[in-house]
Structure 1
Amino acid sequence: MTKAHQHPLEEILHSRIAIIDGAMGTTIRTYGMTETDIRGDRFKNSTKDLLNNGDLFSLTQPEMICDIHRRFLEAGADIIETNTFGATSITQSEFFVEDPREHGGRKDPDFYQKIIDDPSLGNLAWEINEQSARQCREWADRVGSATGRQRFVAGAIGPLTVSLSNSPDADDAGFRVVTFDQVKTAYAQQVRALIAGGSDLLLVETIFDSLNAKAALVAIREVFDQDGLTANRKELPVMISAAVGRGGETLISAQTTEAFWNAVQHVRPLSVGLNCSLGPDLMYPFLEELSEKADVAISCYPNAGLPNPLSETGFDLGPPDMARYLGDFAQGGLINIAGGCCGNTPEHIAAIARALDGKAPRKFEVRA
């Protein structure tokens, strides 16, 4: 493939390190939002607490969410993520459907089939995804035009609140609360809405359960095959990012970094990488291993160290710390995309962007 046929972001990744944004949840908390704020008029009668449902702010407090996107873009982000980490019907059901376990029942595939079939949950998930993508699109284009530098919208696809790999029942190892097809269906709806809202890329992120991620990737493939996208482009680039523990394994499915890459490389993603879970001080050896094995771009956006309730952001590391660590990753020739996960504010991203300005990106092959 010649450079003329590459996606514009891939061209950038061969010439410099691209910057991805920071933590939406962390930054939302700095605005002092309350339960009343997230409910607004639309959800004022909801029977469950909603404040931890950060995706909902895209509907009830769009001005705040857009302000956060603007701040990350002005801090130097080339890629901003949609506020859709939990925007599937499955995850939204945690906030809007009574938990059967509170009355002696259990969550199982029959329960989740009702969730998948519930039009109100499906419509809510679609609206969150489409509106969040549109908000990102507006600000990416606005800042891109003002600065003369193209910015990109990554449709964020999170890991869910259920696991396909593990049973929650210690006495029944074969039991799963949800089926692969149910998870795939929920993800397919999310993917379609993110595309409808104007996403440039699809980012399957914070993967702690590789089978959940596989369902998301199958859903993406089926949406591409079934729908088409535009007259000129049938598919969007896919980015994949895993969360690993101290031993370098995905947190539930326990795949090593190399095994994880082997499981997803058939997708031919634009990038593969690590995010969340570990601070940058612990992430280096696993990122180094992934960089050695993978033949695509490498992304890295770690947490700002360990949780610290006494810190302003809730995490130990400040902007200079993150800039130093990510600078070390660049110096080691490990990364093409860099940013921050939990604990990283626009100020962190600005420091990272300054530290990586002019640093050479990791070399990787041009995709065929």
Structure 2
Amino acid sequence: MTKAHPHPLVDILRKRIAIIDGAMGTTIRTYGMAEADIRGERFQDSTKDLLNNGDLFSLTQPTMICDIHRRFLEAGADIIETNTFGATSITQSEFFVDDPREHGGRKDPEFYQKIIEDSYLDGLAWEINEQSARQCREWADRVGNETGRQRFVAGAIGPLTVSLSNSPDADDAGFRVVTFDQVKAAYAQQIRALIAGGSDLLLVETIFDSLNAKAALVAIREVFDEDGLTAKGTELPVMISAAVGRGGETLISAQTTEAFWNAVNHVKPLAVGLNCSLGPDLMYPFLSELAQKADVAISCYPNAGLPNPLSETGFDLGPPDMARFLGGFAQDGLINIAGGCCGNTPEHIAAIAKALEGQAPRKFEAGA
């Protein structure tokens, strides 16, 4: 999935370590939003709680979301992610459709086929993705023009609330709640909206199920081909980032770091990496292994340590801690893109950016 000419990010990644932003959810919580804030007038009659549906804030509280993008950019982020981690019809159905299990039924492919064909959910997913991308685009361009340094918008594609690899039924190992084609269709809708909103690249992230990620990557390929981006030479570069457990395996599909890379390297991504997970200290050996195996740029944006409900951000590590860990990764020649996932605020990203300033990026062979 490459463009005819190298993407501007490739030159940057060869010259210096690029900075990606931090956690949208963590930062939203610092604004003290309540249920009424996310509902606004538009969703005030919803029958389910919506506060955990952070993507919806892009529609109901755009001023706040844009302020968060601005803060991450001013902290030094070269790449900001759209607020679309759960912006597919499949994930949005968790907040807008009654759960059949509450009435003696079950979620299965028949249920999810109705979700895929639901015009309301389809339209809502499109709107969240397109608007979030437009919000990022506006602020990336604004800060980029003000500072004379180009900034980039990554269309964020999350892992979904369903798994293609595992059965939720202990008595029926072959059962799957959803099909590959249904997942692919949901992702294709998201991808098209992210492109329409002005994304510079597509980021398939926090991968805990490699088969879900495969569906997203197939959807990207098909969208590029079907919409003529391939013929026009206007394909967007792709970043791929997995979440791993203590053994360095993707959390549900249990692929090792090397197996994960072997499963996705045919995509020829701009970058591959690790995010979320258990914090930077526990991530180190798996990041090191990936950096040895992959011939593309390496990204790393870990959680700020382990969850800690007593801390201000809900995670153990503060800005100086993250700066120290990511600085160590850079000194060891492991990274080309660095930032933070859960628990990382604009203050964390500013500290990381300062620590990595002037540090040499990891050398890599492939280009995009």
Q: TM-score range by the shorter chain?
A: over 0.9
The equivalent of 2:53 in structure 1 is 53
State the alpha-carbon separation in 2 of the partners of residues 192 and 282 from structure 1.
Answer: 36
The equivalent of 2:320 in structure 1 is 320
The CA deviation at 1:278 is 1.5
CA-based RMSD: 1.2
The equivalent of 2:215 in structure 1 is 215
The CA deviation at 1:273 is 0.2
Is 2:104 the partner of 1:74?
Answer: no
The equivalent of 2:256 in structure 1 is 256
Equivalent residue runs for 1:349-364 within 5 Å: 349-364=349-364
Equivalent residue runs for 1:224-243 within 5 Å: 224-229=224-229, 233-243=233-243
The CA deviation at 1:332 is 0.5
State the alpha-carbon separation in 2 of the partners of residues 355 and 50 from structure 1.
Answer: 37
Is 2:138 the partner of 1:131?
Answer: no
The equivalent of 2:292 in structure 1 is 292
Equivalent residue runs for 1:65-144 within 5 Å: 65-144=65-144
Equivalent residue runs for 1:311-350 within 5 Å: 311-350=311-350
The equivalent of 2:7 in structure 1 is 7
State the alpha-carbon separation in 1 of the partners of residues 144 and 156 from structure 2.
Answer: 20
Kindly provide the amino acid, as one letter, of the partner of residue 128 in structure 2: I
Kindly provide the amino acid, as one letter, of the partner of residue 72 in structure 2: F
State the alpha-carbon separation in 2 of the partners of residues 278 and 360 from structure 1.
Answer: 26
The equivalent of 1:161 in structure 2 is 161
The CA deviation at 1:11 is 0.7
The equivalent of 2:203 in structure 1 is 203
State the alpha-carbon separation in 2 of the partners of residues 140 and 234 from structure 1.
Answer: 20
The equivalent of 2:38 in structure 1 is 38
Q: Secondary structure at the match of 1:308?
A: coil
State the alpha-carbon separation in 1 of the partners of residues 44 and 242 from structure 2.
Answer: 36
Q: Secondary structure at the match of 1:6?
A: coil
Is 2:302 the partner of 1:302?
Answer: yes
Unaligned runs of 5+ in 1: none
State the alpha-carbon separation in 2 of the partners of residues 10 and 108 from structure 1.
Answer: 42
State the number of aligned residues: 366
State the alpha-carbon separation in 1 of the partners of residues 366 and 338 from structure 2.
Answer: 20
Kindly provide the amino acid, as one letter, of the partner of residue 351 in structure 2: A
Q: TM-score scaled to structure 2, two decimals?
A: 0.98
The equivalent of 2:275 in structure 1 is 275
User: 2:204·2:241 contact (CA, 8 Å) conserved in 1?
Assistant: yes
State the alpha-carbon separation in 1 of the partners of residues 363 and 293 from structure 2.
Answer: 13
State the alpha-carbon separation in 2 of the partners of residues 76 and 150 from structure 1.
Answer: 11
State the alpha-carbon separation in 2 of the partners of residues 170 and 6 from structure 1.
Answer: 48
User: 2:141·2:151 contact (CA, 8 Å) conserved in 1?
Assistant: yes
The CA deviation at 1:231 is 8.4
Kindly provide the amino acid, as one letter, of the partner of residue 237 in structure 1: P
The CA deviation at 1:234 is 2.5
State the alpha-carbon separation in 1 of the partners of residues 129 and 350 from structure 2.
Answer: 26
State the alpha-carbon separation in 2 of the partners of residues 301 and 24 from structure 1.
Answer: 13
Kindly provide the amino acid, as one letter, of the partner of residue 164 in structure 1: L
State the alpha-carbon separation in 2 of the partners of residues 278 and 337 from structure 1.
Answer: 18
State the alpha-carbon separation in 2 of the partners of residues 335 and 358 from structure 1.
Answer: 13
State the alpha-carbon separation in 2 of the partners of residues 346 and 45 from structure 1.
Answer: 33
Q: Secondary structure at the match of 1:5?
A: coil
Q: Secondary structure at the match of 1:27?
A: helix
The CA deviation at 1:230 is 9.1
Deviations 1:158-194 (A, max 9, x none): 0000000000000000000000000000000000000
Kindly provide the amino acid, as one letter, of the partner of residue 316 in structure 1: D
Q: TM-score scaled to structure 1, two decimals?
A: 0.98
State the alpha-carbon separation in 1 of the partners of residues 248 and 270 from structure 2.
Answer: 22
State the alpha-carbon separation in 1 of the partners of residues 230 and 106 from structure 2.
Answer: 43
State the alpha-carbon separation in 2 of the partners of residues 274 and 120 from structure 1.
Answer: 34
The CA deviation at 1:6 is 1.2
State the alpha-carbon separation in 2 of the partners of residues 159 and 343 from structure 1.
Answer: 19
User: 2:277·2:283 contact (CA, 8 Å) conserved in 1?
Assistant: no
State the alpha-carbon separation in 2 of the partners of residues 33 and 307 from structure 1.
Answer: 21
The CA deviation at 1:233 is 3.5
The equivalent of 1:171 in structure 2 is 171
State the alpha-carbon separation in 2 of the partners of residues 96 and 366 from structure 1.
Answer: 43
State the alpha-carbon separation in 2 of the partners of residues 179 and 366 from structure 1.
Answer: 33
User: 2:295·2:366 contact (CA, 8 Å) conserved in 1?
Assistant: no
The equivalent of 2:188 in structure 1 is 188
